[in-house]
Structure 1
């Protein structure tokens, strides 16, 4: 088969479309014939040499895919060859085939294009596990989503709104109309406006009950300032760095909490549990149309370098897909 390889870490041109060995399904795995994968920020870090895949995972980037099952390994039940699926991966999605633990498979939701389904697994699992399992976002609460125009952001805006939360999203002003269409009640241009002041303004001074943050260190102090009493800050990215000073006094005064999570490195059983939760609680929202995959564009997988440049520029809204056809 062919896959995107990284012979030497570096810029987008480090991505090379090359012939590699075909995967074989191990016990408890299936082979997915990949129709599409999606570009995530983690893929950019892996390309640069900063985020190696976990042991035993293919060296090719790609944390999600859609396609059809091509082979079923020993011990797998409930899945059959030819079945359309999408999957959460620890790596290997930028390829024509990938071996997937059966617990990380999801059916393509009814009404969703089988290619566009590649835009769902990583964001759905990330957003659901953090907003529901960690932050316990409730109806009537205020959710602040940073990076609202990203794949994670566009999904979180829709999901938060579907849960009955009032969603505030930060993004470039050119993306605000789209975010309001997706369910954001308020939008903030992070380049021109102070998201702390804006969040307090639109909540009559209370602040956000839950903040989903992709920035990390550079936003930590301001995120704590933007929290309501009893608020929950969940950090899922470090685009703004990994080290910052935390004012515990400010956190204590608000009886607030800070959590940080990653998905890729979780044990298989934990990932399977998250996937089950997504299938039970998120897929019905997707099938009803309350939440949908937001795809900026599709590009051939051999043009992965172009896709990485686009995602690095942050000029996209939603997901950039890489297709094998």
Structure 2
């Protein structure tokens, strides 16, 4: 088997990880062996290698936090699972590996036969998008949602899920060439960020009362959202693509009564019951299998070229996600 392994953390993450060969494990009693179909490289994966993420596994560690695999072997006593079934790889379990052993009782199967690249991206970004739309503000059909970093994986899922729920979206990006793809995806209003964002959003939406804004950029971009939402609105931060802490002017807090919240999917995993997790992932998996929910793929690399893949994923200007495949 192959593993994408790193033994140190720091800058230039692609130089710290390498593909190594190890003996392929055999599943024990009550376990199954999954062979990799695909696994994405998310910003959190890069930050984990650089040492800047909120949770860091002990070293040495295998990269990756999500993906999809196919059941290749069954351990003794395993029932209700068949060779060839598709299942999600364990969250945070080091998914950049050609083979992974998983307890059969914890297996989360997904529909087989669809696009493995899209299914590989199910565990992190789609539930993040879904929960951002449901856990902070009670929204009704016809309401507007504002988001920045809208051309990210989460941003694209937000547009699609919002439309499915009858919501309208204002999607803010940092590059003019990102506007057209999001409009084609179904974004109602797509704007390039700037100091006059609030005025342009008001004009484009007919001064709609926007009660929820989603921030993945941080820095001064957070306050531009706070200035744009309605008085008493909520801004939810779930990322810091700018590399800066969220900055919100006192006037936004004091005179506009804006609330700033944070969201980390790991906390939801810790608190949600197995039934809640199964309900959310079951719905999202079916949408992905039917082709109703997808995000763009920029490139795929075999595990043997993980250094190139990580370098590309860490660079800006991509038009979609970078994924690893068995080769």
TM bracket, shorter-chain basis:
0.7 to 0.9
Spell out the pairing of 1:211-226 with structure 2 (5 A cutoff): 211-226=213-228
Instruction: Tell whether 2:180 aligns with 1:177.
Output: yes
Aligned to 2:200: 198
Aligned to 2:131: 129
Q: Summarize deviations over 1:161-220 as a string: whole Å, max 9, x none.
A: 221111121222212221111110111123x67433332222223453322211134322
Instruction: Tell whether 2:156 aligns with 1:154.
Output: yes
Spell out the pairing of 1:1-325 with structure 2 (5 A cutoff): 1-9=1-9, 10-11=11-12, 12-20=14-22, 30-51=32-53, 53=55, 59-71=61-73, 79-87=81-89, 89-100=91-102, 103=106, 105-108=108-111, 112-171=114-173, 172-190=175-193, 194-206=196-208, 208-241=210-243, 243-244=245-246, 246-247=248-249, 250-251=252-253, 253-254=255-256, 256-264=258-266, 267-268=269-270, 270=272, 272=274, 275-325=277-327
Q: Is the 8 A contact 1:216 1:240 kept in 2?
A: yes
- Determine the C-alpha separation between the residues in 2 that align with 1:306 and 1:184: 32
Cα 1:226–1:25, aligned 2, differ >3 Å: closer, same or farther?
farther
Cα 1:199–1:274, aligned 2, differ >3 Å: closer, same or farther?
farther
Give 1:93 deviation, angstroms.
Answer: 1.2
Give 1:62 deviation, angstroms.
Answer: 1.0
Q: Computing the radius of gyration over CA atoms, which structure comes out larger, 1 or 2?
A: 2
Q: Summarize deviations over 1:82-137 as a string: whole Å, max 9, x none.
A: 31123461141111123456557240377x31243112221112111221233444
- Determine the C-alpha separation between the residues in 1 that align with 2:245 and 2:308: 31
- Determine the C-alpha separation between the residues in 2 that align with 1:41 and 1:198: 29
Cα 1:127–1:23, aligned 2, differ >3 Å: closer, same or farther?
farther
Give 1:271 deviation, angstroms.
Answer: 7.4
Give 1:34 deviation, angstroms.
Answer: 1.1
Give 1:43 deviation, angstroms.
Answer: 1.0
Cα 1:57–1:218, aligned 2, differ >3 Å: closer, same or farther?
farther
Deviates further, 65-74 or 13-22: 65-74
- Determine the C-alpha separation between the residues in 1 that align with 2:249 and 2:171: 24
State how many pairs are aligned.
323
Q: Is the 8 A contact 1:84 1:114 kept in 2?
A: no
Cα 1:88–1:256, aligned 2, differ >3 Å: closer, same or farther?
farther
Q: Is the 8 A contact 2:110 2:285 kept in 1?
A: no
TM-score when scaled to structure 1? 0.84
Aligned-residue CA RMSD (Å): 3.3
Cα 1:314–1:230, aligned 2, differ >3 Å: closer, same or farther?
same
TM-score when scaled to structure 2? 0.83
Give 1:237 deviation, angstroms.
Answer: 0.7
- Determine the C-alpha separation between the residues in 2 that align with 1:273 and 1:156: 23
